[in-house]
Amino acid sequence: MPNRPDDTILTTRATAELLGVAVSTAQQWIENGAIPSWKTVGGHRRVRLGAVKRLMEERTAAAPPAAALPQLPSSAEFVPLAAPSYPVAQDEAERLLALDKLHLIDTPTESVFDRLTWLASQVTDSPMALISLLTSRRQWFKSRVGIEATETPRDWAFCSHAVLQAGLFVVEDAARDPRFQDNPLVTGAPHIRFYAAFPLLDRGHHPLGTLCVLDREPRKLRDREARALRELAALASEEIQRRAL
């Protein structure tokens, strides 16, 4: 199959998740040629996103008008990587589609979110605060305080760890944490040592990103600060959920 760099490569599982079918069904369609594929050196089947989209178009044309069809990602940013260098949950494909559907990535700054990051910075006495949203390729900042960058690569994102749990995620000293001590955001600007975050949830409870605070010094988060950060994250989640109405 020709190598098209603009057409994302998918695993069989990612293909099944995008089509809304069982993995066994996707395997059958791949094996019988309904979805063109090829084998890697290790013997694993791979397909192109473009081939999956063509199949979906054929299914849409043949389906009754009222039939519900799965959502397809608008770009490769909302397709899970075959072998990510960062941790992901099993529902990463669903999470990415939920984020894609909201059309928040690369939108202008908004005061409703900027107020929340400012308050998060103030109530926790942190020099930096972010509302971070995670695509498969990058973490993009919808709002930021104390940081010039508007995004980073996804594999640099502390938030990739934070979205894997329901509550507060804290790194008291990143320079002593094996998960982060070699991270470019720790060894270089903005020289993160402390990180605390709550996930931001959509209506389907998918963690789309986080509200986080950061410091250049190791520290702990006091109970009242954690409570305030949680409430601000809940307000940010509610604002995100309103976008789906």
Q: Is 195 helix (H, G, I), strand (E, B) or coil?
A: strand
pLDDT at 245: 66
Closest-CA residue to 237 (of 134, 125, 116) = 116
Peptide bond into 87 cis (omega under 30): no
Cα distance between residue 118 and residue 120, in whole Å: 5
The first and second tokens of residue 22, run together, are 């069982």
- Decide if 45 contacts 30 (C-beta within 8 A): yes
The pLDDT, as a whole number, for residue 66 is: 44
Domains of the chain: 9-72 (1.10.1660.10), 102-242 (3.30.450.40)
Distance CA 179, CA 69 (A): 39
The pLDDT of residue 6 is 57
Q: What is the pLDDT of residues 50-109, one digit of tens each?
A: 888 888 777 666 555 544 456 678 888 999 998 999 999 999 999 999 999 999 999 999
Radius of gyration of the chain (CA): 20
Q: Which contacts (CB < 8 Å, 24+ apart) does range 82-85 have?
A: 82/9, 82/10, 82/11, 82/14, 82/46, 84/136, 84/154, 84/155, 85/155
Confidence (pLDDT) at 188: 97
For position 238, what pLDDT does the model report?
Answer: 97
pLDDT at site 1 = 42
Low-confidence ranges of the chain (pLDDT < 50): 1-3, 66-68
- The whole-model pTM stands at 0.75
pLDDT of residue 24: 80
pLDDT the model gives residue 55: 80
pLDDT at residue 237, rounded to an integer: 97
